[in-house]
């Protein structure tokens, strides 16, 4: 594993003893995870996934990706939450947030079914235009409202264009292995199916078919991604506070105890934006319960040093910051020399942008520490598949540890049901009549 | 003004008396803003801007936009912070986050100079390719590192392609009216210039040339935008707690007093994402100082109900939520009827997506209130220029009121300098030698 964690810039906030005091808690949490004896233990399938994943399905994913790359100019991915964020984050990180605009020989990829905006859904239809397209619908049950209604729309579109049989060859369903609305439909219609495992929750599913199919269609190397995750899995199984996952989980919990109740995830590469969204789901949904949990936020640096930077430096002192630092890019772009030097920046002439960014990073960490914000720094070598695999597994495993250390069930999400029940009631879903009447009275 | 504020769903958290107790504070804050007697009073130019803006420059902006639309396939906007977020936010909101991908007869627009990633800057160069392009460099001083070094790169590119004279006709500098590196360069080279007014800070500058030129190039109606802002200006000048700006400022401060120290801005249209980023800068930078201020965060719904939703519903009870609700879209997209009805969603067949989203919104507000999160709802009629103008002015004016109510200077940003000083020192900028030595010892 090449990922490292640097806690040097938390030392003025947390004594060695305060940090070390978490050792037994982490040993417990690691044991609970390993032995599967804790809350939510029906959802630990992600833990050994990089070792145990289904090789046959993995080969089918790569084959399907190849077919889609060959017969489709557009790939529409329908999913929400864990069935959306991981794949989008990985593709933006490995390729670009502007992936669709860039010259390439892989399909454009549009994510939909993650909102109820008619404008946004219509736009995807416009963007497909007359081009050949395929659809990946991702839903364990097949009944989650947003993806299900949007899938109805795209299925109709496909069937109109290609006929029922032709459409069936262009629909890929990632769903339950045996049960549920989508699995039943897929089997009846002959869609190729991939599996959302029973023992892996949505936010932990990016390394299953849920994430892997879109990532592979984008032309990313999913072998290297899994190899990176495997390296992290092996390394992070070792006990001790020098294990970066133990250390990260300990540090953030210790800082929470000291009133740092917001964690800001920062990165200096704009391609990381959606990885931060994925991280917010992972940590927010795992720990944000029982009236507790660190509130996860994110910034895109250096851009946001000129927006949220003021708050981080001087606002309410309730923040901790975690920086994901990416090693030197192979891309070189030097600052041109300018005879006039009106901007006074000739002292930077010939310097590569990355080098300037590096000093911005180093200077910012110290400025924030001086301002009262402890900084954790996670370093990965590059914007590549192996690094991403390590980072994903690191965050997943540390999240399990951290949740158990905090004392919550890191693998459930009971709060997500509340809005759904209200929405169903207001929409007149059969069986929700009583709730509907109660809500109507309040509106 | 058509914008409204609904505080019904804060009533169970805040008594009428607690809310009314803020009336004198708001009266003071409004008086201070009106009379220009408070902290930061050198930066109140935004207050009467919708009335007083320079008509000649406004006409020049429209003329320049027309020229750029005619001679450029790509428009590159170089700026950071307030010289970036407002224009990007407005274009994404009014057109689309996928503006560049959509069929249109206006140029692609790329924002750069807001980071130090060589990958990201190179990508813009790749995306321009052989197409004709123009550049808008936006910087009051012309010496802010990120935009200044990136402008050197794009200026060189333009001069190589079009010659020095040809490049000069394709560079538009939005900068100080008289002084500074960029103004001096622009005058020497003959670039057309637009003004960053002395009395308007970056985060309040979207309705100046800073925002208006890129917004006009994208084909948006900047007359309607200013008219919307003007309507809000007129309406919000009226005193009283039924003034939505007074009420918003009072409510969020009263809730902060009760321990709600994070405000989440939510919207059900994904086109709003960068408006939320703009709002975070506006409020975070205005109030996040002196160790206080509400921490601004944002979510993109319904997507994030399946990620941050769990935290909002059940996490630490330190949250308030503000929803920006947009009226019915002209776009209709009905859920198809499905004979098989395996997903059980035929009760939604024939319903428009917007209608389903509307019930999701109503149900979510009540769910969050039941979970302990007070909800404020701001309603605007549509994703159009007039509504956006109202919303921008509303947030700006309410921010001034809110900052004064909190007791901070809402118009400075002293904390933004800290990282810059460290960065300059580490980069070896002349004059920073002592700091450099001190930092080196810590690294």
Residue B70 pLDDT greater than 90, yes or no: yes
Size of interface A-B (CB pairs under 8 A): 440
Closest CA to A26 of A398, A284, A281: A398
Q: Reduced to 3 states, what is the DSSP secondary structure of residue B300?
A: strand
How far CA A52 is from CA of A208, A235, B158, in Å, comes to 11, 16, 54
CA A328 from chain centre, in angstroms, equals 23
- Report pLDDT for B443: 86
Alpha-carbon torsion (B24, B27, B33, B37), positive or negative: negative
- The mean pLDDT value for B113-126 works out to 98
CA distance B325 to B327: 7
B277 is catalytic: no
Give B119's contacts in chain A (Cβ within 8 Å). Answer: 96, 269, 271, 329, 331, 383
Closest CA to A302 of A367, A346, A251, A350: A367
CA distance B363 to A428: 12
Q: Residue B374: pLDDT band by 50, 70, 90 thresholds?
A: very high
| Strand pairing category for A375-380 and A4-6 | antiparallel
How far CA B36 is from CA of A219, B30, B197, B244, in Å, comes to 58, 10, 17, 21
Alpha-carbon torsion (B365, A319, B18, B41), positive or negative: negative
CA distance A65 to A137: 14
What lies within 8 Å, CB to CB, of A52 at 6+ separation is none
Which of A296, A304, A371 comes nearest B415 by C-beta? A371
- Ranges of H-type helices in B36-117: 49-52, 55-71, 85-94
Angle at B419 between CA B414 and CA B425, to 5 degrees: 120
Residue B323 pLDDT greater than 90, yes or no: yes
Residue B92 pLDDT greater than 90, yes or no: yes
- Report pLDDT for A443: 87
Query: b/e string for A164-194 if b means 16 or more Cβ within 10 A?
Result: eeebbbbbbbbbbeeebbbbbbbeebebbbb
Closest CA to A202 of A51, A396, A363, A342: A396
CA distance B295 to B261: 6
Are A212 and A64 within 8 A, CB to CB? Answer: no
Q: What's the average pLDDT block by block, 10 residues per block, for chain A (443 residues)?
A: 98 97 98 98 98 98 98 98 98 98 98 97 98 98 96 98 98 98 98 98 98 98 98 98 98 98 98 98 98 98 96 98 96 96 96 96 97 98 98 98 98 95 95 93 89
- Report pLDDT for A173: 98
CA distance B324 to B313: 19
Beta-carbon separation of A290 and B347 below 8 A: no
Provide the shortest C-alpha distance from residue B14 to chain A (in Å). Answer: 17
- Gap between the terminal Cα atoms of chain A: 54
What lies within 8 Å, CB to CB, of A324 at 6+ separation is A265, A266, A267, A272, A275, A378, A380, A391
**What crossing angle do the helices spanning B244-257 and B385-406 adopt, rounded to 10°?**
50
CA distance A336 to B155: 10
Are B110 and B146 within 8 A, CB to CB? Answer: no
Q: Residue B185: pLDDT band by 50, 70, 90 thresholds?
A: very high
Q: Left if phi > 0, otherwise alpha if psi is -120 to 50, otherwise beta: which for A100?
A: alpha
- Ranges of H-type helices in B36-83: 49-52, 55-71
CA distance A59 to A56: 5
CA distance B48 to B227: 12
Domains of chain B, earliest start first: 4-37+241-405 (3.40.50.10490), 53-224 (3.40.50.10490)
Beta-carbon separation of B353 and A149 below 8 A: yes
ipTM of the complex: 0.98
Provide the shortest C-alpha distance from residue B258 to chain A (in Å). Answer: 15
Alpha-carbon torsion (A388, A393, A395, A398), positive or negative: negative
Q: Left if phi > 0, otherwise alpha if psi is -120 to 50, otherwise beta: which for B76?
A: beta
CA distance B121 to A134: 32
Question: Looking at chain A, which residue has its C-alpha nearest residue B314?
Answer: A289
- Report pLDDT for A113: 98
Residue A285 or B442, more confident: A285
Alpha-carbon torsion (A223, A227, A229, A233), positive or negative: positive
Provide the shortest C-alpha distance from residue A303 to chain B (in Å). Answer: 5
Residue carrying structure tokens 């947009």:
B326
CA distance B225 to B213: 12
- Report pLDDT for A234: 98
Beta-carbon separation of B281 and A308 below 8 A: yes
Residue B216 pLDDT greater than 90, yes or no: yes
Best probe of the A interface among B96, B168, B295, B337, by most A CBs < 10 A, is B295
Are B376 and B9 within 8 A, CB to CB? Answer: yes
Q: Residue B399: pLDDT band by 50, 70, 90 thresholds?
A: very high
Best probe of the A interface among B116, B154, B263, B304, by most A CBs < 10 A, is B116
Q: What is the set of active-site residues of A?
A: 285, 306, 420
- Report pLDDT for A290: 97
* Residues B269-301: tens digit of each pLDDT: 999 999 999 999 999 999 999 999 999 999 999
CA distance B48 to B232: 11
Q: What is the DSSP string of B360-390?
A: HHHHHHHHHHHTT--EEEEEES-SSHHHHHH
Beta-carbon separation of B428 and A347 below 8 A: yes
CA distance A130 to A75: 13
- Report pLDDT for B94: 98
Beta-carbon separation of A127 and B101 below 8 A: yes
């Amino acid at each position: 594993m090449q990922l490292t964690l640097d806690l040097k810039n938390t030392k003025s906030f947390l004594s060695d003893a305060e940090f070390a005091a978490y050792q037994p808690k982490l040993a417990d949490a690691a044991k609970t995870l390993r032995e599967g004896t804790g809350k939510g233990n029906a959802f630990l399938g992600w833990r050994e996934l990089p070792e145990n994943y289904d090789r046959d399905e993995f080969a089918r994913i790569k084959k399907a990706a190849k077919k889609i790359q060959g017969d489709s100019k557009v790939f529409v991915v329908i999913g929400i939450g864990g069935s959306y964020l991981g794949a989008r984050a990985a593709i933006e990180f490995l390729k670009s947030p502007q992936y669709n605009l860039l010259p390439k020989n892989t399909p454009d990829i549009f994510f939909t079914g993650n909102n109820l905006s008619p404008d946004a859904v219509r736009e995807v239809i416009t963007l497909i235009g007359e081009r050949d397209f395929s659809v990946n619908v991702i839903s364990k049950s097949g009944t989650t409202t947003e993806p299900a209604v949007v899938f109805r729309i795209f299925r109709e579109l496909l069937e109109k264009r290609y006929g029922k049989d032709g459409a069936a060859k262009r629909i890929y369903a990632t769903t339950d292995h045996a049960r549920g609305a989508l699995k039943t439909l897929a089997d009846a219609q002959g869609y190729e199916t991939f599996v959302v495992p029973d023992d892996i929750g949505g936010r932990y599913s990016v390394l299953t078919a849920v994430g892997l199919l879109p990532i592979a269609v984008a032309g990313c190397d999913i072998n290297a991604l899994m190899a990176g995750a495997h390296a992290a899995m092996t390394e992070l199984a070792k006990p001790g506070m020098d294990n970066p996952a133990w250390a990260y989980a300990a540090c953030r919990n210790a800082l929470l105890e000291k009133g740092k109740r917001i964690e800001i995830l920062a990165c200096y590469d704009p391609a990381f934006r959606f990885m931060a969204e994925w991280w917010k789901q992972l940590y927010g949904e795992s720990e944000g319960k029982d009236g507790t949990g660190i509130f996860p936020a994110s910034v895109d640096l250096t851009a946001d040093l000129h927006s949220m930077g003021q708050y981080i430096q001087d606002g309410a002192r309730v923040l901790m910051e975690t920086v994901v630092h990416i090693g030197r890019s192979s891309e070189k772009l030097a600052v041109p020399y300018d005879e006039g030097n009106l901007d006074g920046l000739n002292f930077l002439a010939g310097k590569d942008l990355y080098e300037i960014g590096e000093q911005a990073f180093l200077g910012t960490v110290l400025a924030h520490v001086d301002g009262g914000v402890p900084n954790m720094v996670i370093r990965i070598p590059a914007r590549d598949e192996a690094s991403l695999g390590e980072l994903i597994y690191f965050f997943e495993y540390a999240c399990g540890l951290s949740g158990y250390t905090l004392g919550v069930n890191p693998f459930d999400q009971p709060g997500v049901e509340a809005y759904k029940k209200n929405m169903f009631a207001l929409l007149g879903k059969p069986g929700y009549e009583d709730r509907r009447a109660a809500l109507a009275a309040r509106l």
